[in-house]
Structure formats: structure tokens, C-alpha cells
Amino acid sequence: MSQPGTSVLPAGRQGRIARVRAAMEESGIEAMLLSLGADLPWLTGYQAMPLERLTVLVVPADADAVLLVPELEAPRVDPDPAVFEVRPWAEGEDPVAAAARIVGSRRRLAVSDRMWSTFLLALQEALPSREWGTSSRVTGPLRAVKDREEVEALAAASAGADRVAAALLGGEVALVGRSERQVSEDLGRRLIAEGHDRVDFAIVGSGPNSASPHHEPGTRVIGPGEAVVCDFGGTMAGYCSDITRTVFTGEPSPEMVELYALLQEAQAAAVAAATVGTPCEEVDRVARERIAAGGYGAAFIHRTGHGIGMEGHEDPYIVAGNAQPLVAGHAFSVEPGIYLAGRYGARIEDIVVATDAGPRPLNLASHDLTVVG
């Protein structure tokens, strides 16, 4: 079976674990226990199966990392002795007790944000009177800064999504007369055909549904003269894509034209603002200010963007209140939207990387107002 998380490029791993140890030192965390979620594949290239058998990488700040993995899963691990030791556990063994033995007397512990509560509760029982936190405090800021290989992996995934967007904009994806669900499935099939290992989502919101940002594509049949928001993405070689284009099935009304032009301008202004050193919240403010100036401030009902990498949503968040300055290697979406409840909406989304040479959009499919059949 294909495991999307297993193909992480190994080049950066040793550097990553060194940075993790330094950050653990700084925050006083003595051991991390990494299970489900992206921290584990980011460090080891191995993605734990989301199953009842525990897989956990124990990373003591002051000793070698050990990957406890069910014996039957062990063949899927690509060993990297410079980074971690593999210790398979057999049916009948107690992996929680084994993890507790590796943790030993260390007191300040951090676990994967997405570790199942069944595992965490068992670990807490086996390791009484410890301090527990989430690993993202350590790994979030580190994972947010992509190395060169990661940027190229994101660029490849974005290019695949771009080719699907180009087909949509070029009228190759039939809309009128098909249900949202049929179009969603079509977009998903095209993502796979363009090299994705997995489709993570393919939102298709038509007519009044285009005003619902995370609309679940349903049986509604797309008609002529409607706005259709298509927001789709997946995973390619462990890294995510995420793109939104809004198309119109027939000549849009003057109001739609004006609204779309405003959105296009706000999105471009926010991308241009995403320079190294600019606070994340400033990028959000730029988009919001433009949309408010056009009279649609109350209709922009979500943050401007989110970080992206091995997870579809991760640090840094492009949102009011996040004063963190952008650094070279931050990868994130810029996706303002305008939604008129019960009527229609529009969104434009690109993935952008902050670089010393300026913002680098990874999605290049056209933003122009596009009328398709």
C-alpha cells in the first residue's frame, strides 16, 4: 500500500533533529514522544499508521532517539541510524512500558499534538508526576521554516495542482449540468493524474453554496451564470498542495465583476506584502483593508492564510494577532475571500514562500476573471 509520508527527502533529517534538540534545551523539555502527526515523518521519513498499536519516537534531549514500532510495521521503516534507532515491539509486548523505560526519570515531556488520548492516558499512568506539553511548541516554529528540498517538494505539489487549475480555467472540467460532487471527484482524479499520492479535499461550491467557504460538495447541479469556488489539494511525496480558483458559468453580473476585481487586487496586494520581516498579521491586514475599502469588509469572514508543509494547515498562520515576522522559508497560503450569504462568493488562493528575493508564489495559474461552460 502506498504511504504518502514515507518519501520525505532524507537530506535535512540530521539537521532537523539537531535543531529539535537545541529547541528542547531552550524550552527545558527533557523528552519528546512523537506518534501520529507530521513531526514523526518530518524527523524520520516514517508516518505512523493511525491504528491501536502504538508507534512512538522517543527523543530524549540528552540521548539517542528510539523509534518503537509494531513488529509488523517495521519493514516499512527506512532506517537512518544517524537519526534514530529502530526498536520493533512484538505482539504481546507492552509498548507503553517500553516507552516509559526510555523516558526514565526525565520529567518535562512533550507529546505529538495528534497523539491519540488512549496512548497519552496510558503513558501518563506509566509515567506519573511528570509535566506534559505538546510537541508543536518545539517543532512548530522549526517545521514552519522550509529547507531547500522542502520548498522544491512544495513547488512540485503546487505545480501539479496548478495543472488541474489550468484545466478548470481552460474549460476542460465540465461544470454546468454536473453536480458539485461529480466535479469534486473529477478534480480529485486530476490531482492524482498530475502526480499527487493522495487527494486531501476538493471543495466545489456553486451558486449560493459558493458563499460557504468550506462547503461540502453535494448533489446540487451547477447551473449557468453562477460563481463556482473550487478549492482543492492533496499530498505529493509527503508535501501538500492547496489552491483555490473561482470561475463563472456564463457572463457574471456587474456586481460579480466588481467584487471579483476587488478580490483579485486584495490577493495580489497581500502576496506583495509577504516579504521577509513583515509580521504575519500585516499580510492579513493588507488584504482585509483592501476588501473593507471596497465595501465588503464584513464579507471576508476568515483569516488570510495558513502555513503549509507536511500538513495542510500548520505554522505560520496569516491572521490578526500573529506578530511573528516572516522569515525566508516560511510557506503559507494567501487566500482572501468575499462571501455574500445566500447569494454567492469568491476566493483566490495561492501558496507563497517568503524568500530573501521577495515573495515567491508557487501557484501560477491565472487569476483573471474566467467564464467557463
Least distance in angstroms from the C-beta of 167 to Zn ion: 17
CB of 361 to Zn ion, least distance (A): 14
Query: Which residues lie near Zn ion (CB under 5 A)?
Result: 231, 242, 244, 333, 349
By beta-carbon proximity to Zn ion, the closer residue of 30 and 231 is: 231
Q: How far is the CB of 308 from Zn ion (least distance, A)?
A: 7
**Closest separation in Å from C-beta 166 to Zn ion:** 17
Give me the least distance between CB of 349 and Zn ion, in Å please: 5
Q: Taking the CB of residue 372, how many other CB atoms lie within 10 A of it?
A: 17
The Cβ of residue 105 has, within 10 Å, a number of other Cβ atoms equal to: 7
Nearest residue (CB) to Zn ion, 119 versus 339: 339
Are 326 and 277 in contact by the 8 Å Cβ rule? The answer is yes
For residue 8, which amino acid is it? V
Nearest to 236 by CA among 305, 166, 160: 160
92: left (phi over 0), alpha (psi -120 to 50) or beta: left
Angle of helix 254-273 relative to helix 280-293, nearest 10 degrees? 160
The residue (of 30 and 335) whose beta carbon lies closer to Zn ion is 335
98 vs 299, beta carbon nearer Zn ion: 299
| C-beta closer to Zn ion: residue 64 or 200 | 200
Residue 226, all three cell numbers: 453562477
Q: Do 124 and 132 contact (CB within 8 A), yes or no?
A: yes
CA atoms within 13 A on the CB side of 43: 32
Q: What angle do CA 274, 277, 282 make, to 5 degrees?
A: 50
The C-alpha cell 540528552 sits at 62
CB of 303 to Zn ion, least distance (A): 9
Instruction: Considering the complex, state which of residue 113 and residue 231 has its C-beta at the smaller distance from Zn ion.
Output: 231
Residue 208 carries which DSSP code? G
Instruction: Give the cell for residue 97.
Output: 512500558
